[in-house]
Chains A and B, each alone.
Chain A
Amino acid sequence: MVSKKDVIHVGKLADVGVNESELEEFSVQFTKILDYFEILDELPEERTITGETFNILREDIITPSLNHEIALKNAGEEEEGFFKAPRVM
């Protein structure tokens, strides 16, 4: 059971801004979806993940990249050649 309080908590963690009017809808939907996920509890116990992946590395050689002007072209706001972001504190 996913409560409205849980939805508020996850909404905050995810920074997706949940409205009061959406709480009921999301809590009902998440409850149904997580109930379905419980099928994973029936997996044979001995199954654990073992490493299947490995890293692809290359020499640390500088290659051409986007210049300042192009990189800033899609910026919402810029200031003195930097991206401008909301204040963190």
Chain B
Amino acid sequence: MEMISFNPHDTCNAFITTQIQAPFKEGALSGVPIAIKDNICTAGIETTCGSAILKGYIPPYDAHVITLLKDAGAAIVGKTNMDEFGMGTTTESSAFGPTTNPHDPSRVPGGSSGGSAAAVASGMVPYALGTDTGGSIRCPASFCGITGLKPTYGRVSRFGLIAYANSLEQIGPMAQDVSGVSRIFSVIAGHDTHDATSVNHPYTHNPDPEKINGMRIGVPDEFFGDGVDPAVSTVVKEALDVFASKGAELIPFTMPSMRFSLAAYYVICTSEASSNLARFDGIRYGPAIDTKNRWHDAFSKYRHDYFGKEVRRRIMLGTFALSSGYYGRYYQKAQAAKRMVREDFARIFTDVDIIAGPTMPTVAYKLGEKNDPLQMYLSDILTVPANLAGVPALSVPCGHIEKMPVGLQIMGKPFDDETVIDAAYAYEQEVAKNGR
């Protein structure tokens, strides 16, 4: 087995763990360095989810995506920083300190896959894997000026992913450009018997910029409405004009379910978190629990001491939403709203090929700026619909506001990640040609 050396000058705290010597095999990605978000299990390499509760955890097995990457010849060079358990939009809630934005160290890189985005944007690695529950690939891709894809739900195996909300989360590729995303996606997509939600739908596509000609692009009014910075709207509308100049047709529409999607998302994800995170009890992994104390006392103290505040907040919110007498009021209604989101997408996709708008309502915030939980949750408003509907969604850089990158979000029909990638590629090629 051959080795590559990896010793990056990590000024933005993008990595939690690095492999100074990373082994690799022969294959299509021979010796290509790739960074992995720290909630994806890597055999023999510490995997923490950005949490003190998993400090020292060495997974005994590789996640399915890691097996696929290694088989293709990739070198796993490090584990990237993230909001604790993926719960955040800034990477500030990591137990290992915040990651900073490579474009401006006083700003956040976005989250929760902020370390992966910063590692790619600063040139430390060409590719990274992130995970996206409600925008956690697309938000940091947008804030750091790179490309990231949340694939269709089921297209990439979640075996070995330490997810916090299983029904929403997908692993996806992050890269400097669209062809990089396409290259890594072709390796990680496909069926895996270890994940019951995995679908047999491999990806073997080569991005085709000509497909944009004649494409019908839905433009939702709500993505340019209240809460979206008008400067962001302007930059994204210019990007849509690039599509039109290449022969695409822009079709405005409204999406009534947008009104409910954020609340539905937070009810569902916190409910799933409250059950999913019960496994962190200090018995099988993580720092040891006090076995001399009584169960509830020991368990409560352990989770108070090792979970960060946002994780405890979400576990409590989910516990409340699922508690006796409240289930019908929150969880059941959230599921109905999720259904409405899916129906909205299904209706729109009978008329259009893709949907396009901004990825995030603003550019990257200053560190410490989002200290109110609800204000932070509201910044996910444009990214959560794709997770609720399970559709593919990608963020590609489309310009700057005062030197900070803006992301164009493209969403597609379920299992038509190919068309999303074609559209993003067409945009990227056209902009590169015109030297924008």
**A and B: interacting chains:** yes
Residues of chain A touching chain B, judged by Cβ–Cβ distance below 8 Å, are 6-7, 10-19, 26, 29-30, 32-34, 36-37, 39-43, 47-50, 52, 55-56, 58, 66, 70-71, 73-77, 83-89
Q: Kindly identify which residue among B263, B285, B304 contacts A36, using a CB–CB cutoff of 8 Å.
A: B263
Give CA–CA (A70, B285) in the complex, Å: 12
Question: Given the known A-B contacts A16-B303, A86-B289, A87-B295, are A32 and B374 also in contact in the complex, defined by CB atoms under 8 Å?
Answer: yes
Q: Which residues of B contact A37 (CB under 8 A)?
A: 263, 266-267, 321, 330
Contact A30-B317, Cβ < 8 Å, known A17-B304, A41-B333: yes
Q: Is the CB of B299 within 8 A of A15?
A: yes
A19 neighbours in B (Cβ, 8 Å): 304
**B321's closest neighbor in chain A, by CB?**
A37
A37 shortest CB reach to chain B, Å:
5
Q: B290 to chain A: which residues have CB within 8 Å?
A: 86
Shortest B53–chain A CB gap in Å is: 11
CA gap between A76 and B336 in the complex, in Å: 42
From B274, B285, B295, B316, A30 is in contact (CB under 8 Å) with B316
Residue picked from A6, A43, A49, most chain B C-beta under 10 Å = A43
Near A by CB (< 8 A), chain B positions 280-301 give 281-301
Q: Which residues of B contact A84 (CB under 8 A)?
A: 283, 291
**Nearest CB in chain B to that of A39: its residue:** B263
Nearest B residue to A52 via CB reads: B339
Q: Are B60 and A86 closer than 8 Å at their CB atoms?
A: no
Stretch among B143-151, B247-255, B307-315 lining the A interface: B307-315
Contact B336–A77 (Cβ < 8 Å) = no
Given A10-B323, A14-B316, A16-B316, also A87-B58 (CB < 8 A): no
B322-344 near A? 1/0 per residue, CB < 8 Å: 01000000101111110110000
In whole angstroms, how far apart are the Cα atoms of A58 and B312 in the complex? Answer: 36
Cβ distance B417 to chain A, nearest Cβ, rounded Å? 21
For the complex formed, measure the closest distance between the CB of A81 and the CB atoms of chain B, giving whole angstroms.
Answer: 14
Whether B6 is near chain A, meaning CB under 8 Å from some CB there, is no
Tell me, in angstroms, the Cα distance from A34 to B312 when the chains sit together: 16
Q: Which chain A residue has the least Cβ–Cβ distance from B289?
A: A76
Task: Please give the distance in Å from B13's CB to the nearest CB on chain A.
Answer: 25
Question: Please, which residues of chain B bring their CB within 8 A of the CB of A73?
Answer: 58, 60
Closest beta carbon of chain B to A84's beta carbon, Å:
5
Q: Known pairs A13-B319, A33-B377, A76-B286. 12 more at Cβ < 8 A? A: A10-B319, A14-B312, A16-B316, A29-B313, A30-B316, A40-B330, A52-B339, A70-B60, A73-B58, A77-B291, A83-B283, A84-B283
A86-B304 CB under 8 A given contacts A43-B333, A74-B57: no
Contact of A16 among B196, B266, B312 (CB under 8 A): B312
A84 CA to B336 CA, complexed, in Å: 42
Query: Cβ of B281: which chain A residues have Cβ within 8 Å of it?
Result: 85
| B415 close to chain A: CB less than 8 A | no
